A and B are shown apart, each in its own frame.
Chain A
Protein backbone atom coordinates (compact mmCIF):
# COMPACT_ATOMS: atom_id res chain seq x y z
CA UNK A 1 0.00 0.00 0.00
CA UNK A 2 2.77 2.43 0.91
CA UNK A 3 4.59 1.59 -2.30
CA UNK A 4 1.43 2.45 -4.22
CA UNK A 5 1.07 5.67 -2.28
CA UNK A 6 4.67 6.72 -2.95
CA UNK A 7 4.28 5.91 -6.65
CA UNK A 8 1.08 7.91 -6.72
CA UNK A 9 2.61 10.98 -5.13
CA UNK A 10 5.68 10.94 -7.37
CA UNK A 11 3.48 10.60 -10.44
CA UNK A 12 1.11 13.28 -9.19
CA UNK A 13 4.04 15.62 -8.70
CA UNK A 14 5.22 14.98 -12.27
CA UNK A 15 1.70 15.46 -13.61
CA UNK A 16 1.20 18.78 -11.82
CA UNK A 17 4.69 19.96 -12.79
CA UNK A 18 4.04 19.04 -16.43
CA UNK A 19 0.68 20.84 -16.39
CA UNK A 20 2.29 23.97 -14.92
CA UNK A 21 5.10 23.70 -17.45
CA UNK A 22 2.57 23.55 -20.24
CA UNK A 23 0.83 26.69 -18.98
CA UNK A 24 3.93 28.73 -18.23
CA UNK A 25 6.15 27.75 -21.13
CA UNK A 26 6.65 30.55 -23.67
CA UNK A 27 7.55 28.20 -26.50
CA UNK A 28 4.59 26.46 -28.15
CA UNK A 29 6.68 23.38 -28.88
CA UNK A 30 7.67 22.95 -25.24
CA UNK A 31 4.06 23.49 -24.20
CA UNK A 32 2.97 20.68 -26.48
CA UNK A 33 5.73 18.42 -25.15
CA UNK A 34 4.70 19.14 -21.55
CA UNK A 35 1.16 18.21 -22.53
CA UNK A 36 2.41 14.91 -23.93
CA UNK A 37 4.26 14.24 -20.68
CA UNK A 38 1.12 15.03 -18.71
CA UNK A 39 -0.99 12.63 -20.79
CA UNK A 40 1.67 9.97 -20.39
CA UNK A 41 1.55 10.28 -16.60
CA UNK A 42 -2.24 10.12 -16.67
CA UNK A 43 -1.94 6.91 -18.70
CA UNK A 44 0.28 5.48 -15.94
CA UNK A 45 -2.41 6.43 -13.43
CA UNK A 46 -4.92 4.40 -15.44
CA UNK A 47 -2.56 1.42 -15.35
CA UNK A 48 -2.28 1.78 -11.57
CA UNK A 49 -6.09 1.73 -11.44
CA UNK A 50 -6.15 -1.62 -13.33
CA UNK A 51 -7.52 -0.11 -16.51
CA UNK A 52 -4.83 -0.87 -19.12
CA UNK A 53 -7.27 -0.54 -22.01
CA UNK A 54 -8.03 3.09 -21.18
CA UNK A 55 -4.34 3.72 -20.55
CA UNK A 56 -3.38 2.48 -24.02
CA UNK A 57 -6.24 4.40 -25.63
CA UNK A 58 -5.06 7.50 -23.76
CA UNK A 59 -1.55 7.15 -25.16
CA UNK A 60 -2.46 6.31 -28.74
CA UNK A 61 -5.37 8.72 -29.11
CA UNK A 62 -4.09 11.73 -27.19
CA UNK A 63 -0.42 11.41 -28.07
CA UNK A 64 -1.41 10.90 -31.70
CA UNK A 65 -3.72 13.90 -31.56
CA UNK A 66 -1.02 16.12 -30.09
CA UNK A 67 1.24 15.03 -32.91
CA UNK A 68 -1.16 16.77 -35.28
CA UNK A 69 -1.22 19.79 -32.96
CA UNK A 70 2.55 19.78 -33.12
CA UNK A 71 2.52 19.92 -36.88
CA UNK A 72 0.09 22.82 -36.77
CA UNK A 73 2.39 24.67 -34.41
CA UNK A 74 5.38 24.07 -36.64
CA UNK A 75 3.58 24.87 -39.87
CA UNK A 76 1.40 27.82 -38.90
CA UNK A 77 3.19 29.55 -36.06
CA UNK A 78 6.69 28.81 -37.20
CA UNK A 79 9.32 28.33 -34.55
CA UNK A 80 9.06 31.70 -32.84
CA UNK A 81 7.92 31.93 -29.25
CA UNK A 82 4.58 33.37 -28.33
CA UNK A 83 4.40 37.16 -27.90
CA UNK A 84 4.05 38.64 -24.42
CA UNK A 85 0.59 38.29 -22.93
CA UNK A 86 -2.15 40.24 -24.68
CA UNK A 87 -4.90 38.85 -22.49
CA UNK A 88 -8.46 40.01 -22.88
CA UNK A 89 -9.35 42.47 -20.08
CA UNK A 90 -12.08 40.35 -18.50
CA UNK A 91 -10.14 37.07 -18.85
CA UNK A 92 -7.96 37.37 -15.79
CA UNK A 93 -10.63 38.13 -13.14
CA UNK A 94 -12.83 35.40 -14.59
CA UNK A 95 -9.98 32.91 -14.39
CA UNK A 96 -9.28 33.82 -10.76
CA UNK A 97 -12.96 33.48 -9.92
CA UNK A 98 -13.31 30.07 -11.59
CA UNK A 99 -10.11 28.82 -9.97
CA UNK A 100 -11.45 29.90 -6.58
CA UNK A 101 -14.73 28.03 -7.22
CA UNK A 102 -12.79 24.89 -8.20
CA UNK A 103 -10.62 25.14 -5.09
CA UNK A 104 -13.69 25.59 -2.89
CA UNK A 105 -15.38 22.59 -4.43
CA UNK A 106 -12.29 20.43 -3.96
CA UNK A 107 -11.95 21.44 -0.32
CA UNK A 108 -15.64 20.75 0.23
CA UNK A 109 -15.47 17.32 -1.39
CA UNK A 110 -12.27 16.43 0.43
CA UNK A 111 -13.35 17.37 3.94
CA UNK A 112 -17.13 17.47 4.08
CA UNK A 113 -18.34 14.68 1.82
CA UNK A 114 -20.81 12.18 3.23
CA UNK A 115 -19.35 8.91 1.91
CA UNK A 116 -16.24 7.59 3.63
CA UNK A 117 -13.50 6.36 1.33
CA UNK A 118 -13.85 2.79 2.54
CA UNK A 119 -17.39 2.55 1.19
CA UNK A 120 -16.50 2.80 -2.49
CA UNK A 121 -17.49 -0.51 -4.07
CA UNK A 122 -14.89 -2.55 -5.94
CA UNK A 123 -15.33 -2.42 -9.72
CA UNK A 124 -16.64 -5.56 -11.37
CA UNK A 125 -14.15 -8.10 -12.70
CA UNK A 126 -14.54 -7.26 -16.38
CA UNK A 127 -14.20 -3.51 -15.78
CA UNK A 128 -11.92 -1.85 -18.27
CA UNK A 129 -10.98 -5.02 -20.17
CA UNK A 130 -11.21 -4.87 -23.97
CA UNK A 131 -14.07 -7.38 -23.83
CA UNK A 132 -15.92 -5.34 -21.20
CA UNK A 133 -15.51 -2.08 -23.10
CA UNK A 134 -16.51 -3.73 -26.37
CA UNK A 135 -19.61 -5.30 -24.82
CA UNK A 136 -20.70 -1.99 -23.34
CA UNK A 137 -20.05 -0.07 -26.57
CA UNK A 138 -21.91 -2.44 -28.85
CA UNK A 139 -24.88 -3.24 -26.60
CA UNK A 140 -26.06 -0.54 -24.20
CA UNK A 141 -24.21 2.37 -25.83
CA UNK A 142 -24.59 1.39 -29.48
CA UNK A 143 -26.53 4.50 -30.54
CA UNK A 144 -24.13 7.06 -28.98
CA UNK A 145 -21.22 5.08 -30.39
CA UNK A 146 -22.60 5.12 -33.92
CA UNK A 147 -23.64 8.77 -33.59
CA UNK A 148 -20.10 9.68 -32.53
CA UNK A 149 -18.59 7.81 -35.44
CA UNK A 150 -20.90 9.58 -37.91
CA UNK A 151 -20.04 12.90 -36.27
CA UNK A 152 -16.32 12.22 -36.67
CA UNK A 153 -16.87 11.24 -40.28
CA UNK A 154 -18.71 14.51 -40.92
CA UNK A 155 -15.88 16.44 -39.29
CA UNK A 156 -13.39 14.64 -41.52
CA UNK A 157 -15.40 15.37 -44.67
CA UNK A 158 -15.69 18.99 -43.55
CA UNK A 159 -11.93 19.29 -43.14
CA UNK A 160 -11.38 17.89 -46.62
CA UNK A 161 -13.98 20.21 -48.15
CA UNK A 162 -12.37 23.22 -46.48
CA UNK A 163 -8.91 22.41 -47.82
CA UNK A 164 -9.95 21.40 -51.32
CA UNK A 165 -9.25 23.87 -54.12
CA UNK A 166 -11.98 24.32 -56.67
CA UNK A 167 -10.89 23.72 -60.21
CA UNK A 168 -10.80 26.70 -62.56
CA UNK A 169 -10.54 29.35 -59.84
Chain B
Protein backbone atom coordinates (compact mmCIF):
# COMPACT_ATOMS: atom_id res chain seq x y z
CA UNK B 1 0.00 0.00 0.00
CA UNK B 2 2.86 2.31 0.88
CA UNK B 3 4.29 1.79 -2.60
CA UNK B 4 1.04 2.83 -4.25
CA UNK B 5 1.02 6.13 -2.39
CA UNK B 6 4.65 6.71 -3.33
CA UNK B 7 3.91 6.19 -7.02
CA UNK B 8 0.85 8.40 -6.98
CA UNK B 9 2.77 11.21 -5.29
CA UNK B 10 5.63 10.87 -7.76
CA UNK B 11 3.28 10.91 -10.74
CA UNK B 12 1.55 14.03 -9.39
CA UNK B 13 4.85 15.81 -8.79
CA UNK B 14 6.03 14.99 -12.30
CA UNK B 15 2.75 16.12 -13.86
CA UNK B 16 2.83 19.38 -11.91
CA UNK B 17 6.46 19.95 -12.82
CA UNK B 18 5.66 19.55 -16.52
CA UNK B 19 2.57 21.77 -16.31
CA UNK B 20 4.45 24.52 -14.51
CA UNK B 21 7.28 24.07 -16.97
CA UNK B 22 4.80 24.54 -19.82
CA UNK B 23 3.44 27.77 -18.33
CA UNK B 24 6.86 29.27 -17.86
CA UNK B 25 8.22 27.93 -21.13
CA UNK B 26 5.71 30.16 -22.95
CA UNK B 27 7.04 33.15 -21.04
CA UNK B 28 10.64 32.03 -21.59
CA UNK B 29 10.02 31.70 -25.31
CA UNK B 30 8.34 35.07 -25.63
CA UNK B 31 11.07 36.82 -23.68
CA UNK B 32 13.87 35.04 -25.53
CA UNK B 33 12.29 35.71 -28.93
CA UNK B 34 11.84 39.35 -27.96
CA UNK B 35 15.48 39.61 -26.93
CA UNK B 36 16.61 38.10 -30.24
CA UNK B 37 14.38 40.52 -32.16
CA UNK B 38 15.61 43.47 -30.05
CA UNK B 39 12.27 43.93 -28.29
CA UNK B 40 11.46 43.68 -24.59
CA UNK B 41 8.61 41.17 -24.53
CA UNK B 42 5.85 40.80 -21.93
CA UNK B 43 7.04 42.47 -18.73
CA UNK B 44 3.89 44.07 -17.30
CA UNK B 45 2.14 41.30 -15.36
CA UNK B 46 4.17 40.91 -12.20
CA UNK B 47 7.92 41.46 -11.84
CA UNK B 48 9.65 40.78 -15.18
CA UNK B 49 6.32 39.48 -16.52
CA UNK B 50 6.41 36.45 -14.25
CA UNK B 51 2.61 36.40 -13.86
CA UNK B 52 2.01 36.54 -17.61
CA UNK B 53 1.25 32.78 -17.96
CA UNK B 54 -1.52 33.10 -15.35
CA UNK B 55 -3.00 36.07 -17.20
CA UNK B 56 -2.92 34.07 -20.45
CA UNK B 57 -4.61 31.10 -18.80
CA UNK B 58 -7.38 33.26 -17.36
CA UNK B 59 -7.92 34.89 -20.73
CA UNK B 60 -8.22 31.51 -22.48
CA UNK B 61 -10.64 30.16 -19.87
CA UNK B 62 -13.04 33.06 -20.43
CA UNK B 63 -12.92 32.86 -24.21
CA UNK B 64 -15.87 31.48 -26.13
CA UNK B 65 -15.73 27.78 -26.95
CA UNK B 66 -16.85 27.42 -30.51
CA UNK B 67 -17.70 24.18 -32.30
CA UNK B 68 -18.08 24.52 -36.06
CA UNK B 69 -21.30 23.39 -37.74
CA UNK B 70 -21.21 19.81 -39.08
CA UNK B 71 -18.05 19.06 -37.15
CA UNK B 72 -17.87 15.61 -35.62
CA UNK B 73 -18.67 16.70 -32.05
CA UNK B 74 -17.29 13.71 -30.19
CA UNK B 75 -13.99 13.54 -32.03
CA UNK B 76 -13.72 17.32 -31.99
CA UNK B 77 -13.66 17.20 -28.18
CA UNK B 78 -11.58 14.03 -28.02
CA UNK B 79 -8.78 15.28 -30.28
CA UNK B 80 -7.22 17.87 -27.91
CA UNK B 81 -7.33 15.34 -25.08
CA UNK B 82 -5.62 12.73 -27.24
CA UNK B 83 -2.93 15.26 -28.04
CA UNK B 84 -2.22 16.28 -24.45
CA UNK B 85 -2.27 12.86 -22.79
CA UNK B 86 0.68 11.30 -24.68
CA UNK B 87 2.71 14.46 -24.10
CA UNK B 88 2.25 13.99 -20.36
CA UNK B 89 2.56 10.24 -19.89
CA UNK B 90 5.67 9.88 -22.04
CA UNK B 91 7.67 11.44 -19.19
CA UNK B 92 6.93 8.52 -16.88
CA UNK B 93 10.05 6.54 -17.80
CA UNK B 94 12.51 9.44 -17.74
CA UNK B 95 14.80 9.23 -14.69
CA UNK B 96 15.19 12.56 -12.87
CA UNK B 97 17.94 11.51 -10.49
CA UNK B 98 19.35 8.66 -8.44
CA UNK B 99 17.58 8.11 -5.14
CA UNK B 100 17.43 9.37 -1.61
CA UNK B 101 16.37 7.94 1.73
CA UNK B 102 13.28 9.37 3.34
CA UNK B 103 14.20 10.62 6.82
CA UNK B 104 12.60 8.98 9.92
CA UNK B 105 11.13 5.97 8.07
CA UNK B 106 14.33 4.94 6.31
CA UNK B 107 12.54 4.28 3.05
CA UNK B 108 14.50 4.74 -0.22
CA UNK B 109 12.75 6.97 -2.77
CA UNK B 110 13.88 6.63 -6.36
CA UNK B 111 13.64 9.71 -8.54
CA UNK B 112 11.68 8.22 -11.44
CA UNK B 113 8.11 7.08 -11.82
CA UNK B 114 8.91 3.82 -13.59
CA UNK B 115 12.08 2.05 -14.69
CA UNK B 116 10.87 -0.56 -17.17
CA UNK B 117 13.17 -2.78 -19.17
CA UNK B 118 11.62 -1.54 -22.42
CA UNK B 119 11.76 2.18 -21.58
CA UNK B 120 12.94 3.29 -25.02
CA UNK B 121 10.24 1.23 -26.74
CA UNK B 122 7.70 2.89 -24.47
CA UNK B 123 8.87 6.25 -25.80
CA UNK B 124 8.43 5.16 -29.43
CA UNK B 125 5.03 3.61 -28.67
CA UNK B 126 3.70 6.80 -27.08
CA UNK B 127 5.24 8.92 -29.82
CA UNK B 128 3.39 6.89 -32.45
CA UNK B 129 0.10 7.45 -30.61
CA UNK B 130 0.68 11.21 -30.45
CA UNK B 131 -0.13 11.56 -34.17
CA UNK B 132 -3.77 10.56 -33.64
CA UNK B 133 -4.82 13.69 -31.80
CA UNK B 134 -3.57 15.95 -34.57
CA UNK B 135 -5.08 13.95 -37.44
CA UNK B 136 -8.41 13.62 -35.64
CA UNK B 137 -8.43 17.35 -34.93
CA UNK B 138 -7.85 18.06 -38.60
CA UNK B 139 -10.50 15.63 -39.77
CA UNK B 140 -13.22 16.38 -37.23
CA UNK B 141 -13.08 20.16 -37.74
CA UNK B 142 -14.81 19.85 -41.12
CA UNK B 143 -12.45 22.45 -42.54
CA UNK B 144 -10.19 22.03 -45.57
CA UNK B 145 -7.29 23.94 -44.02
CA UNK B 146 -7.46 21.96 -40.80
CA UNK B 147 -7.63 18.74 -42.78
CA UNK B 148 -4.58 19.63 -44.86
CA UNK B 149 -2.71 20.57 -41.70
CA UNK B 150 -3.59 17.25 -40.11
CA UNK B 151 -2.49 15.30 -43.18
CA UNK B 152 0.78 17.19 -43.39
CA UNK B 153 1.40 16.64 -39.71
CA UNK B 154 0.85 12.91 -39.95
CA UNK B 155 3.01 12.52 -43.06
CA UNK B 156 5.78 14.55 -41.46
CA UNK B 157 5.66 12.82 -38.09
CA UNK B 158 5.54 9.31 -39.57
CA UNK B 159 8.48 10.11 -41.88
CA UNK B 160 10.69 11.61 -39.23
CA UNK B 161 9.77 8.96 -36.68
CA UNK B 162 11.92 6.48 -38.61
CA UNK B 163 15.13 8.50 -38.27
CA UNK B 164 14.18 9.25 -34.67
CA UNK B 165 13.79 5.54 -34.00
CA UNK B 166 17.21 4.83 -35.50
CA UNK B 167 18.72 7.45 -33.18
CA UNK B 168 17.04 5.63 -30.29
CA UNK B 169 18.71 2.44 -31.58
CA UNK B 170 22.13 4.11 -31.46
CA UNK B 171 21.60 5.07 -27.82
CA UNK B 172 20.36 1.56 -27.02
CA UNK B 173 23.47 0.02 -28.59
CA UNK B 174 25.85 2.36 -26.80
CA UNK B 175 24.05 1.93 -23.47
CA UNK B 176 23.57 -1.80 -23.99
CA UNK B 177 20.06 -1.59 -22.55
CA UNK B 178 16.56 -0.32 -23.27
CA UNK B 179 16.10 0.95 -19.73
CA UNK B 180 16.66 4.70 -19.60
CA UNK B 181 18.24 4.39 -16.17
CA UNK B 182 20.88 2.04 -17.56
CA UNK B 183 21.48 4.33 -20.54
CA UNK B 184 22.12 7.25 -18.17
CA UNK B 185 24.38 5.03 -16.08
CA UNK B 186 26.38 4.07 -19.18
CA UNK B 187 27.10 7.77 -19.78
CA UNK B 188 28.88 8.10 -16.46
CA UNK B 189 32.30 8.15 -18.10
CA UNK B 190 31.43 9.80 -21.40
CA UNK B 191 28.26 11.36 -22.74
CA UNK B 192 26.92 9.74 -25.88
CA UNK B 193 26.93 13.10 -27.66
CA UNK B 194 30.73 12.87 -27.66
CA UNK B 195 30.73 9.29 -28.91
CA UNK B 196 28.03 9.82 -31.53
CA UNK B 197 27.83 13.58 -32.28
CA UNK B 198 26.05 13.25 -35.63
CA UNK B 199 23.50 10.90 -34.09
CA UNK B 200 22.73 13.49 -31.43
CA UNK B 201 22.38 16.16 -34.13
CA UNK B 202 19.95 14.03 -36.17
CA UNK B 203 18.04 13.33 -32.97
CA UNK B 204 17.64 17.05 -32.35
CA UNK B 205 16.52 17.71 -35.94
CA UNK B 206 13.97 14.90 -35.96
CA UNK B 207 12.59 15.92 -32.58
CA UNK B 208 11.97 19.40 -33.98
CA UNK B 209 9.90 17.74 -36.70
CA UNK B 210 8.13 15.49 -34.20
CA UNK B 211 6.92 18.42 -32.09
CA UNK B 212 6.10 20.50 -35.20
CA UNK B 213 8.42 23.33 -34.27
CA UNK B 214 10.05 25.77 -36.65
CA UNK B 215 11.57 25.23 -39.18
CA UNK B 216 9.32 22.14 -39.46
CA UNK B 217 6.07 23.84 -38.43
CA UNK B 218 4.38 22.82 -41.69
CA UNK B 219 1.18 21.58 -40.01
CA UNK B 220 0.51 25.05 -38.66
CA UNK B 221 2.02 27.23 -41.38
CA UNK B 222 -0.01 30.37 -40.74
CA UNK B 223 0.42 31.91 -44.17
CA UNK B 224 -0.75 28.85 -46.09
CA UNK B 225 -3.08 27.03 -43.72
CA UNK B 226 -4.24 29.82 -41.36
CA UNK B 227 -3.28 27.65 -38.39
CA UNK B 228 -3.44 24.11 -39.69
CA UNK B 229 -5.12 21.42 -37.67
CA UNK B 230 -6.21 23.73 -34.83
CA UNK B 231 -7.76 26.48 -36.98
CA UNK B 232 -11.24 25.76 -35.64
CA UNK B 233 -10.32 25.43 -32.00
CA UNK B 234 -10.80 28.22 -29.49
CA UNK B 235 -10.77 28.77 -25.75
CA UNK B 236 -9.54 25.94 -23.56
CA UNK B 237 -9.57 23.40 -26.40
CA UNK B 238 -7.05 25.54 -28.23
CA UNK B 239 -5.15 25.93 -24.96
CA UNK B 240 -4.84 22.14 -24.78
CA UNK B 241 -3.15 22.02 -28.20
CA UNK B 242 -0.90 24.86 -27.16
CA UNK B 243 -0.12 23.03 -23.93
CA UNK B 244 0.63 19.80 -25.77
CA UNK B 245 3.08 21.52 -28.08
CA UNK B 246 5.06 23.08 -25.25
CA UNK B 247 4.89 19.98 -23.06
CA UNK B 248 6.22 17.97 -25.98
CA UNK B 249 9.09 20.44 -26.30
CA UNK B 250 9.97 19.96 -22.64
CA UNK B 251 9.57 16.21 -22.65
CA UNK B 252 11.48 15.68 -25.88
CA UNK B 253 14.32 17.82 -24.49
CA UNK B 254 14.30 15.62 -21.40
CA UNK B 255 14.54 12.55 -23.64
CA UNK B 256 17.37 14.08 -25.68
CA UNK B 257 19.23 14.91 -22.47
CA UNK B 258 18.68 11.40 -21.13
CA UNK B 259 19.80 9.62 -24.29
CA UNK B 260 22.70 11.78 -25.42
CA UNK B 261 23.64 14.42 -22.85
CA UNK B 262 24.25 12.33 -19.76
CA UNK B 263 20.74 12.58 -18.29
CA UNK B 264 20.74 13.74 -14.70
CA UNK B 265 24.50 13.10 -14.42
CA UNK B 266 27.23 15.70 -14.08
CA UNK B 267 29.95 16.30 -16.68
CA UNK B 268 32.03 13.15 -16.90
CA UNK B 269 35.16 14.94 -15.63
CA UNK B 270 33.36 16.03 -12.45
CA UNK B 271 33.01 12.43 -11.23
CA UNK B 272 34.03 11.90 -7.64
CA UNK B 273 33.95 15.61 -6.79
CA UNK B 274 31.29 17.35 -4.69
CA UNK B 275 29.51 18.25 -7.92
CA UNK B 276 28.67 14.60 -8.57
CA UNK B 277 25.13 13.27 -8.23
CA UNK B 278 26.62 10.37 -6.29
CA UNK B 279 27.62 12.92 -3.66
CA UNK B 280 24.39 14.95 -3.43
CA UNK B 281 21.26 13.29 -4.83
CA UNK B 282 19.45 16.63 -5.23
CA UNK B 283 21.92 17.72 -7.90
CA UNK B 284 20.29 15.23 -10.32
CA UNK B 285 17.05 17.12 -11.02
CA UNK B 286 18.96 20.42 -11.06
CA UNK B 287 21.40 19.18 -13.70
CA UNK B 288 18.52 17.78 -15.74
CA UNK B 289 16.66 21.09 -15.51
CA UNK B 290 19.73 23.10 -16.55
CA UNK B 291 20.38 20.88 -19.57
CA UNK B 292 16.72 20.99 -20.60
CA UNK B 293 16.69 24.79 -20.38
CA UNK B 294 19.77 24.97 -22.62
CA UNK B 295 18.19 22.65 -25.22
CA UNK B 296 14.93 24.63 -25.08
CA UNK B 297 16.88 27.78 -25.75
CA UNK B 298 18.30 26.17 -28.89
CA UNK B 299 14.76 25.34 -30.05
CA UNK B 300 13.65 28.94 -29.49
CA UNK B 301 16.78 30.28 -31.14
CA UNK B 302 16.13 28.14 -34.22
CA UNK B 303 12.55 29.41 -34.38
CA UNK B 304 13.78 33.00 -34.22
CA UNK B 305 16.35 32.64 -36.97
CA UNK B 306 15.29 29.97 -39.48
CA UNK B 307 12.67 30.25 -42.22
CA UNK B 308 10.16 27.45 -42.67
CA UNK B 309 11.24 24.66 -45.00
CA UNK B 310 9.10 24.02 -48.08
CA UNK B 311 6.94 20.92 -47.74
CA UNK B 312 8.47 18.81 -50.55
CA UNK B 313 11.97 19.70 -49.36
CA UNK B 314 11.01 18.69 -45.85
CA UNK B 315 9.91 15.25 -47.01
CA UNK B 316 12.93 14.88 -49.29
CA UNK B 317 15.24 15.87 -46.46
CA UNK B 318 13.68 13.32 -44.14
CA UNK B 319 13.67 10.40 -46.55
CA UNK B 320 16.70 11.05 -48.72
CA UNK B 321 19.16 12.57 -46.24
CA UNK B 322 18.28 11.80 -42.62
CA UNK B 323 17.12 8.20 -43.12
CA UNK B 324 20.20 6.91 -45.04
CA UNK B 325 22.52 8.89 -42.78
CA UNK B 326 21.01 7.55 -39.58
CA UNK B 327 21.07 4.00 -41.00
CA UNK B 328 24.77 4.46 -41.78
CA UNK B 329 25.32 5.76 -38.23
CA UNK B 330 23.66 2.67 -36.74
CA UNK B 331 25.99 0.52 -38.82
CA UNK B 332 29.10 2.52 -37.88
CA UNK B 333 28.17 2.42 -34.20
CA UNK B 334 27.76 -1.35 -34.36
CA UNK B 335 31.17 -1.69 -36.06
CA UNK B 336 32.73 0.51 -33.38
CA UNK B 337 31.24 -1.58 -30.59
CA UNK B 338 32.58 -4.78 -32.15
CA UNK B 339 36.02 -3.15 -32.55
CA UNK B 340 36.01 -2.18 -28.87
CA UNK B 341 35.10 -5.72 -27.87
CA UNK B 342 37.74 -7.31 -30.11
CA UNK B 343 40.68 -4.89 -29.99
CA UNK B 344 40.39 -2.68 -26.91
CA UNK B 345 38.62 0.39 -25.60
CA UNK B 346 40.75 2.89 -27.56
CA UNK B 347 38.73 1.97 -30.64
CA UNK B 348 35.68 3.73 -29.16
CA UNK B 349 37.02 6.78 -31.02
CA UNK B 350 36.31 4.99 -34.28
CA UNK B 351 32.62 5.83 -33.76
CA UNK B 352 32.83 9.65 -33.47
CA UNK B 353 35.44 9.95 -36.24
CA UNK B 354 33.58 7.73 -38.71
CA UNK B 355 30.22 9.31 -37.92
CA UNK B 356 31.63 12.81 -38.40
CA UNK B 357 33.01 11.72 -41.76
CA UNK B 358 29.63 10.23 -42.71
CA UNK B 359 27.89 13.46 -41.67
CA UNK B 360 30.35 15.50 -43.71
CA UNK B 361 29.78 13.33 -46.78
CA UNK B 362 26.03 13.80 -46.39
CA UNK B 363 26.40 17.58 -46.15
CA UNK B 364 28.65 17.63 -49.22
CA UNK B 365 26.19 15.51 -51.24
CA UNK B 366 23.26 17.74 -50.29
CA UNK B 367 25.29 20.80 -51.20
CA UNK B 368 26.25 19.26 -54.55
CA UNK B 369 22.69 18.33 -55.48
CA UNK B 370 21.37 21.74 -54.48
CA UNK B 371 24.02 23.39 -56.61
CA UNK B 372 23.16 21.20 -59.57
CA UNK B 373 19.52 22.19 -59.14
CA UNK B 374 20.45 25.87 -59.10
CA UNK B 375 22.63 25.40 -62.21
CA UNK B 376 19.76 23.71 -64.07
CA UNK B 377 17.27 26.41 -63.19
Contact = CB atoms under 8 A, between A and B. Distances in A.
B117 A130 contact: yes
A74 B132 CA distance: 13
B68 to A, nearest CB: 14
Interface stretch (A15-23, A52-60, A101-109, A137-145): A52-60
Interface of B: 72, 75, 116-118, 121-122, 124-126, 128-129, 131-132, 135, 139, 147, 151, 154-155, 158, 161, 178
Interface string A53-94: 100110110011001101100110001000000000000000
Interface of A: 29, 33, 36, 52-53, 56-57, 59-60, 63-64, 67-68, 70-71, 74-75, 79, 129-130
Nearest to B158: A67
B158 A52 contact: no
Given A64-B158, A74-B151, A130-B178, A56 B118 contact: yes
A139 B125 CA distance: 26
A142 to B, nearest CB: 16
Question: Secondary structure at chain B's binding surface: helix, strand, loop or mixed?
Answer: helix
A60 B127 CA distance: 8
A117 B6 CA distance: 36
A31 B115 CA distance: 34
A129 B182 CA distance: 15
Contacts of B161: 64
Contacts of B122: 56
B377 to A, nearest CB: 18
Contacts of B116: 52
B117 A67 contact: no
B151 A71 contact: yes
Q: Is the interface of A mostly helix, strand, loop or mixed?
A: helix
A56 B135 contact: no
Contact of B129 (A59, A68, A71, A75): A59
Interface centre among B121, B151, B154, by most chain A C-beta atoms within 10 angstroms, is B121
A52 B118 contact: yes
Contacts of B135: 67, 70-71, 74
A90 to B, nearest CB: 35
B132 A60 contact: no
B75 to A, nearest CB: 8
A135 to B, nearest CB: 14
Pick the 4 closest A-B CB pairs, nearest first.
Answer: A56-B121, A59-B125, A60-B125, A64-B128
A60 B116 CA distance: 16
A52 B117 CA distance: 8
Given A33-B75, A53-B117, A74-B147, 9 more contacts: A53-B118, A56-B124, A59-B129, A67-B128, A67-B131, A70-B135, A70-B154, A71-B155, A129-B117
Contacts of B72: 29
A64 B131 CA distance: 9
A130 B129 CA distance: 21
